[in-house]
Structures are given as structure tokens and as C-alpha cells.
Amino acid sequence: MSHWKYKIYRSFWNALDLLFPPACAGCGNSGSRWCETCRQNVKILNGTLCEICGLPQEKPGICPACLADRPRFHSLRAWAVFEDPVQSALHRLKYRRDIAVGEMLANEMLPFVRGFGWKIDLVVPVPLGRQRMRERGYNQVAMIAIPLALALGYRYAPAALKRKKETRTQVGLSREQRRVNVNDAFQAGEDVKEKTVLIIDDVSTTGATLSSGAHALYTAGARHVFALTVARAMPHHDLGFV
């Protein structure tokens, strides 16, 4: 059952939908923020997954990449494969300032996230650098993390993790370049001490950003760190797995 604060939050966005009829974030058709066709076309990421990074594999257990270089988070899970209609929805949220998409995605993800049974104390979005925050005006990950935290009854703590250095975009970088790019990029505060933290991002590829964030959280004394993203790029997408 959703927390009462989330019901109020969702009612606000539903009221805006009545005043300003929305277009579907996936296909652009008018009438709703997420049409039934796009809902049916989401490729949910389930089945046999690596216990740590969450990538699909043939056998249960830990994948070779995590055995060779284990990420710092306890486990990472993504709701869907990074393909349309989810890819288009995230693009709309991130680049077209349609922040209502964040609440829609959070609502779609709720049954998936509840299924893990994670006992979370704090929800933390991956923070933007100062330059990107000035350019965009908002953190697109926060637009997803806020309603998720409200619906699940978790404390939302955006200030618990800060980006202490500017990094270049991860797009186009190899696995090793991604790791180096975000190495020591984050710093966590004292309020994570002895807490189980859920760190959230929009898309994961190699998990380097989330691993770096988890490292900062553990360094500050977090008990456990779980990671969650809306979408996951697959090796065949050729976005930096090598």
C-alpha cells in the first residue's frame, strides 16, 4: 500500500494532467503520460541475473566481471532494458524538462521495487555536478527518487551524497575509462552512518557511477548500500562494456 504522502504527491500530478493534457513519454501520443501500448512494450529486466550487478546471465550466481572487479554496492537492480519506450521517456525527462515523467516512471516501478523486500533507511539520488545542475535546473534522478521514497515510506536524503569533483559524461567511454572518470567523485555525510542506503540513478551501463557513490557511502559508515536504476544498458548496445 502506498504511503499517504505519495498519494497526495500523485494527486498533484494527476490534477496537472487535467489542466494540461499530457502526451505519452514513450510514443508522444496525447491523452496520458504513459499509454497502455508503451506500458506493454517495456522490457522488464528479470530472469536469471548476476547477484551483484544485475546483468542477465545463463546461470545463477556472480558474473565474471563482478568476480574480477566487484562493485562496491551490495547489489544493483534495474527495472527495464534501456530501449524504447523507456529510453524515450528518460530522454524526455532529462533533456526536454518534462519532470512529470519522473513521477510516472516511479509509479510504474513500484511493484518491481517492492518485490525485493529491501529494508531501506535512506534514499539518495546520484547527484549532478554544479555545471550540469546550473544548465538543467534540476536533477532528473531526483524526480524519480522523490516519489519512490514517498511511496515506499523511506526517508529521502539528497544531501547525504555530494559530488565533490566535476566529471565528464560517461557516454562513449570504455569500462575502464568510466571507472577512472568517477573514481573518488563523491563524498557522503555523517547521516548515512549505520544506515542501509538505496542509491538511485536513471541508467546504468557498467555500474561505475553507482559503485563510486556506494564507496563514498561505505566510507562514511553506511551499513549496506543497494543500487537501483530505471533502465540498464545491455552489452549489445555497445555503450562501454569493453
> Running DSSP on this structure, what letter comes out for residue 219?
H
CA 103, CA 71: separation in Å to the nearest integer?
29
The reply to whether 211 falls in a domain is: yes
Q: Looking at residue 64, which CATH number applies to its domain?
A: 3.40.50.2020
Quote the CA–CA distance of 65 and 111 in Å, as a whole number. Answer: 29
Q: How many CA atoms lie within 13 A of 232 on its CB side?
A: 24
Does residue 34 fall inside a structural domain?
no
- Tally of domains within the chain: 1
Q: Is residue 5 part of a domain?
A: no
Q: Is residue 225 part of a domain?
A: yes
Give Cα separations from 52 to 67, 139, 171 (angstroms). 9, 26, 23
> pTM, whole model, 2 decimals?
0.92
Q: Can you spell out the DSSP letters for 68-135?
A: HS--SSSEEEEEEESSTTHHHHHHHHHHS--THHHHHHHHHHHHHHHTT----SEEEEPPPPHHHHHH
Does a structural domain hold residue 21?
no
Residue ranges of the chain with pLDDT lower than 70? Answer: 1-2, 168, 171-176, 179-181, 236-242
CA distance 217 to 226: 11
Is 242 contained in some domain?
A: no
**pLDDT, position 239:** 55
- pLDDT, one tens digit per residue, over 113-171 is 999 999 999 999 999 988 889 999 999 999 999 999 999 999 999 999 999 877 767 76
Domain with 220 in it: 42-237
The answer to whether position 200 is within a domain reads: yes
The reported pLDDT for the residue numbered 173 is 63
pLDDT at position 242, please? 44
The answer to whether residue 94 is domain-embedded is: yes
Contact (Cβ atoms closer than 8 angstroms) between residue 178 and residue 204: no
